[in-house]
Amino acid sequence: MQPIPAISVTALNERIRVALTPMRELRVEGEVSGARFSSGHLYFDLKDAGSKIRVTVWRSSVSRLSTDVRDGQQVVVTGRIDVWVQGGSYALNATDVEPAGLGQRFAALQALKEKLTAEGLFDVSRKLPLPFLPRVVGMATSPTGAALRDMVRVLNDRFPVRVIVAPCKVQGDGAAESIAQAIELLDKSGLCDVIIVGRGGGSLEDLWAFNEERVVRAVAACKTPIVSAVGHEVDTLLSDLAADLRAPTPSVAAETVVPRLADLQWQIQDARGRMARVVKKHIRTERAMLQQRLARLGQGDQLTGPRFLRLDELTRRLGSAAQKQMADRQRLLANRHQRLTQAHPLRKLATQQRRLDGLQARLLAVREALVRSKRDQLERKSAVLVALSPKSALKRGYGIVRRTGTREALQSVRGIALGQSLEVLLGDGALDCRVEKLRPDA
């Protein structure tokens, strides 16, 4: 029997490579062991109870992985078998690594979403409005995560408020129960005006706890307005749908729950300016009405002239008094505004706002009292003018006697002849008379 020709080790490995590499792409499930990076490439062993295989993820594929590969993680690796001829070993060249059972998890997630939607947990009508200016912000998040530091920094920059943190796990085993308990603790305390629940970005597996039914129901049942801020802008989880508001990131959540102090100060300044313009317009309207009433009285004569001068003086003094009151109140408002700016907002803002409201009410009351007082004076002066009018004297029983055909009033019996025709003007008409007897005053 003729011996089989010998071949080299390299040739043997080449034959093995040729035999294995045509195999189609495989999906292999197992546990990660010995994961390490070298020159941007990822190497690890994929093992089960009976065996293991080397896995290589080239640098070009590492950046496209949908999960962070860690020792002990159960994964499904997609790739092809390749043989390293020089080393006489083979490995699975992976193009993707995903958590094991992810497909089933997505199916379960979709079923849960449909169930909770049918129950109405995501209805817009259930969502609560956020308070305008919360005094206390509750945070259900990791006490060591960057998300907490970012949110506290944003709050301090915009409008410092009190923060209560309910620490909880945000990923891994027991995270869902921990998150739900933190939300319920903050809600039942009654100390928070608004609650933020969330964490920074990560893989979908890292964020999965916020898809758990326990967390979603805790968010939906929260009686305190709650903002969900989980992951990055592209991540949308069931907790986002159940919350009263979804923020794309934790930092945006902090920006949403409190206004900017500088914006509030500008609004107060603008309101004060608008109030001053309204009061000035009202004074101008009252002055115009006063001028109209004065015009209705006519030009007057020597008797009424001084009264009109007095009315003009009162009008001028009324305007000056109102302007002085306005200036005094504006200075007082400016002082209040300066003290508000210098004081700590948590201690001073509410008090200063109430004082400002009180000053505004007093200013309007003073203005109305001044206008009412001056109007009463005007009416009294007008009544005096009417009382001193000649027509008023006629209505009281007096008469004016003048020669018939003339408008000259007689003041003496001298120059009056017997039988002369005279005209007597009374309050409601006139009498034509003839002189029958003269009785000069002895």
Which domain CATH number covers 16? 2.40.50.140
Closest to 227 (Cα-Cα) out of 102, 137, 346:
137
440 within some domain = no
User: Order of strands across the sheet with 226-230?
Assistant: 162-167, 136-141, 194-199, 226-230, 245-246
- pLDDT computed for residue 232 by the predictor: 61
Tokens (6 digits) for 251: 């930092």
- pLDDT computed for residue 348 by the predictor: 66
Q: What percent of the chain has pLDDT over 90?
A: 26
Residues 272 and 384 in one domain: yes
Kindly state the average pLDDT of the residues 46-73. Answer: 85
- Give, in order, the Cα–Cα distances in Å from 47 to each of 42, 201, 268, 357: 16, 29, 67, 73
- pLDDT computed for residue 202 by the predictor: 77
Residues 278 and 323 in one domain: yes
308 within some domain = yes
pTM: 0.46
Residues 351 and 210 in one domain: no
Checking if the pLDDT of 228 tops 60, the result is yes
Please give the residue range of the domain that contains residue 83: 9-100
- pLDDT computed for residue 81 by the predictor: 84
Residues 92 and 62 in one domain: yes
CB 404 within 8 A of CB 421: yes
Query: What mean pLDDT value characterizes the chain?
Result: 83
Nearest-angstrom CA–CA distance, 174 and 349? 42
CB 121 within 8 A of CB 217: yes
Kindly state the average pLDDT of the residues 96-115. Answer: 79
* Boundary (domain end) residue, out of 78, 100, 122: 100
Checking if the pLDDT of 308 tops 70, the result is no
Q: What is the pLDDT of residues 325-381, one digit of tens each?
A: 888 878 887 776 676 666 666 566 777 778 888 888 888 888 888 888 888 888 888
- Give, in order, the Cα–Cα distances in Å from 235 to each of 103, 143, 229, 275, 327: 18, 22, 10, 46, 56
205 within some domain = yes
Q: What is the pLDDT of residues 155-189, one digit of tens each?
A: 998 888 999 999 999 988 899 999 999 999 999 99
Residues 284 and 402 in one domain: no
Closest to 32 (Cα-Cα) out of 100, 95, 134:
100
Nearest-angstrom CA–CA distance, 138 and 421? 103
- pLDDT computed for residue 195 by the predictor: 96
Instruction: Compare 18 and 44 and report the one with higher pLDDT.
Output: 44
Instruction: Compare 296 and 25 and report the one with higher pLDDT.
Output: 25
- pLDDT computed for residue 136 by the predictor: 95
Checking if the pLDDT of 298 tops 70, the result is no
Residues 303 and 410 in one domain: no
442 within some domain = no
Residues 347 and 379 in one domain: yes
Kindly state the average pLDDT of the residues 52-70. Answer: 84
- pLDDT band at 130; cut points 50, 70, 90: very high
- pLDDT computed for residue 104 by the predictor: 67
Residues 347 and 415 in one domain: no
- pLDDT band at 436; cut points 50, 70, 90: confident
135 within some domain = yes
- pLDDT band at 431; cut points 50, 70, 90: confident
Output the CA torsion sign for 388, 391, 397, 402. Answer: positive
**Number of domains the chain is built from:** 4
Checking if the pLDDT of 221 tops 70, the result is yes
248 within some domain = yes
181 within some domain = yes
Nearest-angstrom CA–CA distance, 241 and 170? 18
* Boundary (domain end) residue, out of 216, 234, 257: 257
- pLDDT computed for residue 120 by the predictor: 92
Residues 360 and 294 in one domain: yes
Q: Residue 181 corresponds to which amino acid?
A: Q
Task: Give the DSSP letter string of 187-246.
Answer: HHH---SEEEEEE----HHHHGGGGSHHHHHHHHH-SS-EEEEES-TT---HHHHHSSEE
Q: What is the pLDDT of residues 236-288, one digit of tens each?
A: 789 999 999 999 899 999 999 998 877 777 777 777 878 878 888 888 888 88
Residues 340 and 368 in one domain: yes
- pLDDT band at 8; cut points 50, 70, 90: low
Residues 111 and 237 in one domain: yes
* Boundary (domain end) residue, out of 388, 406, 424: 388
- pLDDT computed for residue 242 by the predictor: 93
- Work out the number of other CB atoms within 10 angstroms of the CB of residue 200: 22
> Domain with 164 in it: what CATH number?
3.40.50.261
Residues 320 and 430 in one domain: no
Output the CA torsion sign for 247, 253, 256, 257. Answer: positive
Q: State the number of CA atoms in the 13 A half-sphere of 79 facing the CB.
A: 26
3 within some domain = no
